[in-house]
């Protein structure tokens, strides 16, 4: 379970509490006064501390104060046989989690322990997540090739505007990263970024996904549901692989862009929406228009600005930077030191055809990290960069 420290000058109280808590599978440490308890807190991290008020050398309120001054986030429960409202209020003001009077009630103790430990666990998880988020690079575009530098300049120019952007490029080339950066550098950065993969949603469900539905609109519509346009209100809607959207859904998207309002499936009420739309595709939409698969008027609405993301084969100069970037990320994910990579290995990676672009490259780097020793060399790349399915 967890670790609990009991601070009390009465041995009988310490013994009784310890027996209760050890029966609940907690690891219990005892301290008979404040100074000895503070030494323990310096050396060990506890999930919960019980602290008596009336003790020789240092009273419980002073112990509590010193614990909190050290920045310790461990919950402290004050216990006393001389309880009054003033003491309770003072201890809570000083940062105590709870205040329990003697004689101690078993049920009250167990409830307090469970709640305090749960809270402490959540605080630790939140702190860990915040550290990861702080350390994690934002959705950055890695590379210094001319093509990538041009994209970065375009993003800096276009992001602050309200212009719609059509992002083109092959699968795995990084179209979503461009959309994310456009959002993060826009006036809407504090608003939601909602992504819809149009290719992954069945044709019969895409309208409900985008515009929501009213209860009873179809067999499985057991309750009213907001669509992605409503959820993205005040922010950005990213329509990924829009070339795979049905013509019926395209017509409704066109109306939403023209009138800034949508109607849920099965409903007759219009909802105003304030959404900036980015779209992405791996298809040639002009050919799709000629084939009758895509609306020309929607194409012109979406393509105020067009950003083409080059394939990895077109920017092989970025391979060393990408390799370093992914080696760092993978090492962090696996909790291992960053693997070295030789110049020969990098050259071999640059010579490969990356049909899956950056997404494929990331997977290959992970494979090489797993199969390598202390470093990744040219021999390993030639052996394992391209999987053998035979």
Q: How big, in percent rounded to 5, are the helix, strand and coil portions of the chain? A: 50, 15, 35
Write the pLDDT tens digit of every residue in 30-39.
999 999 999 9
Cβ proximity of 48 and 113 under 8 Å? yes
Residues 216-230, mean pLDDT to the nearest whole number: 85
Write down the pLDDT at residue 104.
84
Q: Given pLDDT bands bounded at 50, 70 and 90, which one contains residue 83?
A: low
Q: Measured in Å, how far apart are the chain's first and last C-alpha atoms?
A: 49
pLDDT, averaged across the chain? 90
Q: Would you tell me the crossing angle of helices 357-371 and 343-350 to the nearest 10 degrees?
A: 150
Q: Would you tell me the crossing angle of helices 319-334 and 343-350 to the nearest 10 degrees?
A: 110
Question: ∠ CA(227), CA(140), CA(284), 5° rounding?
Answer: 60
Residues 226-253, mean pLDDT to the nearest whole number: 93
Write down the pLDDT at residue 2.
83
Percent of the chain with pLDDT over 90: 63
Calpha distance 227→291 (Å, rounded): 29
Q: Given pLDDT bands bounded at 50, 70 and 90, which one contains residue 132?
A: low
pLDDT at 82 > cutoff 70: no
Calpha distance 286→295 (Å, rounded): 10
Q: Which residue is associated with the tokens 């791996």? A: 282
The β-bridge partners of 277 are: 237
Write down the pLDDT at residue 135.
47
Q: Given pLDDT bands bounded at 50, 70 and 90, which one contains residue 281?
A: very high
Q: Given pLDDT bands bounded at 50, 70 and 90, which one contains residue 94?
A: confident
pLDDT at 139 > cutoff 80: no
Distances (CA, A) of 166 to 29, 81, 230, 258: 62, 71, 21, 16
Q: Given pLDDT bands bounded at 50, 70 and 90, which one contains residue 332?
A: confident
Residues 109-113, mean pLDDT to the nearest whole number: 90
Percent of the chain with pLDDT over 70: 95
Distances (CA, A) of 208 to 204, 248, 249, 267, 275: 8, 12, 9, 11, 17
Residue 100, class by beta-carbon neighbours within 10 Å (0-12 exposed, 13-18 middle, 19+ buried)?
A: middle
Q: Given pLDDT bands bounded at 50, 70 and 90, which one contains residue 223?
A: confident
Write the pLDDT tens digit of every residue in 287-311.
999 999 999 999 999 999 999 999 9
Write down the pLDDT at residue 345.
95
Higher pLDDT, 56 or 305: 305
**Joined tokens for residue 151:** 């994209």
Q: Which residue is associated with the tokens 């819809």? A: 196
Measured on CA atoms in the order 218, 220, 223, 229, is the torsion positive or negative?
Answer: negative
Mind listing the domains of the chain with CATH numbers? 3-135 (3.40.50.2300), 146-310 (3.40.50.300), 313-384 (1.10.8.60)
Calpha distance 170→149 (Å, rounded): 18
pTM: 0.65
DSSP, collapsed to helix, strand or coil, labels residue 209 as helix
């Amino acid at each position: 379970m967890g670790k609990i420290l009991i601070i009390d000058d009465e041995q009988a109280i310490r013994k009784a509490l310890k027996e209760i808590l050890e029966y609940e599978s907690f690891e219990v440490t005892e301290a008979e006064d404040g100074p000895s308890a503070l030494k323990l807190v310096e050396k060990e991290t506890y999930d919960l501390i019980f602290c008596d008020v009336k003790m020789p050398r240092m009273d419980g309120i002073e112990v509590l104060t010193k614990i909190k001054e050290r920045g310790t986030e461990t919950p402290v429960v004050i216990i006393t046989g001389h309880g009054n409202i003033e003491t309770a209020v003072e201890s809570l003001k000083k940062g105590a989690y709870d205040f329990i009077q003697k004689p101690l009630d078993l049920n009250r103790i167990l409830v307090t322990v469970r709640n305090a430990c749960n809270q402490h666990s959540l605080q630790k998880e939140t702190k860990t997540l915040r550290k990861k988020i702080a350390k994690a690079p934002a959705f950055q575009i890695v590379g210094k090739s001319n093509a990538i530098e041009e994209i970065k300049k375009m993003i800096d120019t276009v992001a602050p505007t309200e212009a719609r952007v059509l992002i083109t490029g092959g699968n795995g080339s990084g179209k979503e990263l461009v959309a994310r950066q456009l959002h993060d550098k826009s006036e809407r950065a504090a608003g939601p970024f909602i992504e819809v993969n149009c290719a992954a949603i069945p044709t019969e469900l895409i309208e409900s996904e985008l515009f929501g539905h009213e209860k009873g609109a179809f067999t499985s519509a057991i309750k009213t549901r907001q669509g992605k346009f409503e959820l993205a209100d005040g922010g950005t809607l990213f329509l990924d692989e829009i070339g795979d959207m049905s013509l019926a859904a395209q017509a409704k998207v066109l109306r939403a862009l023209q009138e800034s309002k949508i109607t849920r499936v099965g409903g007759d009420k219009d909802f105003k929406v304030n959404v900036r739309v980015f779209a992405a595709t791996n298809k040639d939409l002009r050919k799709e228009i000629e084939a009758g698969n895509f609306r020309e008027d929607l194409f012109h609405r979406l393509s105020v600005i067009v950003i083409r993301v080059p394939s990895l084969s077109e920017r092989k100069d970025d391979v060393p930077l990408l390799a370093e970037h992914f080696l760092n990320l993978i090492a962090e994910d696996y909790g291992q030191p960053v693997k070295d990579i030789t110049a020969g290995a990098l050259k071999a990676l640059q010579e490969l055809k990356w049909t899956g672009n950056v997404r494929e490259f990331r997977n290959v780097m992970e494979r090489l990290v797993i199969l390598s020793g202390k470093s990744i060399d040219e021999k390993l790349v030639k052996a394992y960069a391209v999987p053998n399915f035979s």
